[in-house]
Amino acid sequence: MEGILHEIALSRASPLTSCEALDNGTGERRVETTAADGGYRFVNLVPSNYKADIEQSGFRRYTRDEIAVNVEAAVRIDVALQVGDVTQAIEVHAGTAANDGERLAEPGSCGSDRARDSLERAQRAEPGVTSPRRGATG
State pLDDT tens for residues 9-24. Answer: 656 787 878 899 999 9
* pLDDT value of position 23: 97
What pLDDT was estimated at residue 117?
Answer: 62
pLDDT of 137 higher than 60: no
CATH code of the domain covering residue 66: 2.60.40.1120
102 within a domain of the structure (yes/no): yes
* Structure confidence at residue 38 as a pLDDT band (50, 70, 90): confident
Is the pLDDT confidence value at 97 over 80? no
pTM above 0.75, yes or no: no
Which range of residues forms the domain containing residue 26? 2-81
Model confidence band, residue 72 (pLDDT cutoffs 50, 70, 90): confident
Q: Give the CA count within 13 Å in the CB-facing half-sphere of 105.
A: 10
Q: Is residue 92 part of a domain?
A: no
Using alpha carbons, select from 30, 86, 90, 79 the residue that is nearest to residue 58.
86
Report yes or no: 91 and 17 within 8 Å, Cβ to Cβ: no
Does residue 94 register a pLDDT over 60? no
Q: Alpha carbon of 113 to those of 102, 117, 119, 129: distances in Å?
A: 10, 6, 10, 18
Query: What is the count of structural domains for the chain?
Result: 2
- pLDDT of the residue at 126: 55
Query: Over the chain, what is the mean pLDDT?
Result: 74
- How many angstroms separate the CA atoms of 118 and 4, rounded? 38
Co-location of 11 and 74 in the same domain: yes
Instruction: Give residue 9's pLDDT.
Output: 61
